[in-house]
Amino acid sequence: MEIISIKPFLALIVSLLGAVLILANYDNPNRREAASLITALTKFIIVLTMAPAIYAGDTLHYTVLTFLPEVSISLRVDALGLLFALIASFLWILTTIYSIGYMRPLNEHAQTRYYTCFAITLSATMGVAFSANLLTLYLFYEILTIVTYPLVSHKGTPEAYAGGNKYLFYLLGTSKAFLLAAVILTYVVSGTLSFTPGGLFPPNANPALLTGLYFLFLFGIGKAALMPVHAWLPAAMVAPTPVSALLHAVAVVNTGVFCVMRVILHVFGVETMKALHLGTATAILASFTIIMASIYALTRDNLKARLAYSTVSQLSYIILGGALLTPLGMTGGVIHIANHAFSKITLFFCAGSIYVAAHKTEISQMSGIGRQMPWTMAAFSIGVLSMIGVPPLSGFTTKWYLAFGAIEANQIAILGVIVMSTLLNAGYFLPIIYKAFFEAPAAPEHHAPTGGEAHHAGENHVIVRESFVMIFPLLVSAVISLLLGIYPDGLLELIQQVLR
């Protein structure tokens, strides 16, 4: 049943109002950060109140503005949108807490701008999640790119601006050259932009045109980081770690794969995808990205760079699941939107905790760090094991469904890709755990601490102190990564609504 409700609009605008409050309290850090946290909590509660209706099989609708017949700025909450919105809004709460523990000790500049852009980013993310049609999705997709640029280039260094410019060039370039063209052509061919279960194209549409149109969408959605339009993501790691955590483990990258899943399910539809053999072509691209990004990750010593290439790889698991076009495979793809978000944000949070406490960024520097930062590295280990797919963690659920989805689709080669990528995951993650817990710390004379990096006790050793404000959110996300693996039923029930 379709229900007219203002809730999706409230979820969208509440963080815009929060941005105003943050700006109004620019001269008072306590009130500014309280405004950010209260806004995040309010947004999550609003999104949560929509869950009963969606679990009951209903959808929520709200039209903001109508231009032409079948062309409007409209919001629609279905199971896929609710899943994405719940993840993003909840993780904004954790990231806000984490940001306080990160930004203050480092005395980061422009903190008001930082929190303001974060708030607007979450509004854009809600706009994408609750888009009822391609026009609305495109509008908020572009807003998300523009408002996250100041976050990516936050540090204001030449390196930060170079990374931010690459970020902007790739994402605006692909969306203008390909995605906008795809949206316009879709309207020309179908006469509508509204998402429709089973697809919106007429049966007599030209197959060659639809095939070309699909690839315009696939490469126009640059945030999904399919190779070769992935280079923006590693470049964006110049951002502060909380930015990397929320934007490049959740908001931006999940927006990309969410849009791809929306195109597969509600623009083309499974039957059209099968008829045009688009699933096979997509699976090949996703498999190539999974393997190559994992190989790149093996070669990176910088922790955030390794996590960035891991993200490129893991995002393609979601696309691969959609490309299998089977119930089990698509379940694996959709559930990985949640599983990857919680596991990867845990890893980025841990990277920031290590930087703030010990000022270490390179994996080669992390010998013995597990003894100095046990809580951080315990959470890191949980995130790593989830990414590899070790039971009972959430990543195992993803790979279980993807593997059986590949068998269901009679795609044994895809099963081989999943096995190979799992070995590569272990290859680039487990050495970090080994180094942290089983290698002796470096001699103190080789360690040159900077301001705020560590507290000295005598001349023979260095005490590295973990910040509770940073430890709390990373432990919460790590525990949820475990719980989603042990109790996936709530997610699976929502995903059944997605695939109906």
Count of other CB atoms within 10 angstroms of residue 159: 12
Measured in degrees and rounded to the nearest 5, phi and psi for residue 274 equal -70, -45
Mean pLDDT of 384-400: 96
The pLDDT assigned to 245 comes to 86
- Beta partners for 71? 68
The pLDDT assigned to 155 comes to 86
The pLDDT assigned to 457 comes to 37
Count of other CB atoms within 10 angstroms of residue 180: 15
Q: What is the pLDDT of residues 153-179, one digit of tens each?
A: 988 889 999 999 999 999 999 999 999
The pLDDT assigned to 443 comes to 67
The pLDDT assigned to 68 comes to 77
CB 402 within 8 A of CB 471: no
Mean pLDDT of 51-62: 95
The pLDDT assigned to 454 comes to 39
Mean pLDDT of 75-85: 96
Mean pLDDT of 252-276: 95
* Long-range CB contacts for residues 68-71, cutoff 8 Å, separation at least 24: 70/133, 70/187, 70/191, 70/192, 70/193, 70/194, 71/133, 71/135, 71/187, 71/193
pLDDT at 132 over 90: yes
Q: Which residues contact 192 (CB under 8 A, 6 or more apart)?
A: 70, 133, 200
- Beta partners for 398? none
pLDDT band at 1 (very low <50, low <70, confident <90, very high): confident
Boundaries of every domain in the chain: 277-500
pLDDT band at 232 (very low <50, low <70, confident <90, very high): very high
Whole-number mean pLDDT of the chain?
Answer: 91
Mean pLDDT of 336-349: 95
Residue 436 tokens, joined: 């942290």
Q: What is the pLDDT of residues 86-110, one digit of tens each?
A: 999 999 999 999 999 888 878 888 8
Residue 220 tokens, joined: 């126009």
The pLDDT assigned to 453 comes to 38
End-to-end Cα separation, the chain, in angstroms: 14
Mean pLDDT of 253-277: 95
The pLDDT assigned to 452 comes to 38
Residue 81 tokens, joined: 């949108």
The pLDDT assigned to 103 comes to 87
The pLDDT assigned to 463 comes to 63
Q: Which segment of 41-45, 134-138, 235-239 scores lowest on mean pLDDT?
A: 235-239
The pLDDT assigned to 465 comes to 80
Instruction: Kindly give the interhelix angle for 327-358 and 374-388, rounded to the nearest 10 degrees.
Output: 160
Q: What is the pLDDT of residues 419-470, one digit of tens each?
A: 999 999 999 999 999 999 998 887 654 444 443 333 433 334 456 788 888 9
Mean pLDDT of 140-144: 96
Between residues 408 and 246, the one the model is more confident about: 408
pLDDT at 182 over 90: yes
Q: What is the pLDDT of residues 283-315, one digit of tens each?
A: 999 999 999 999 999 999 999 999 999 999 999
Q: How far apart are CA 54 and CA 431, in angstroms?
A: 43
CB 89 within 8 A of CB 122: yes
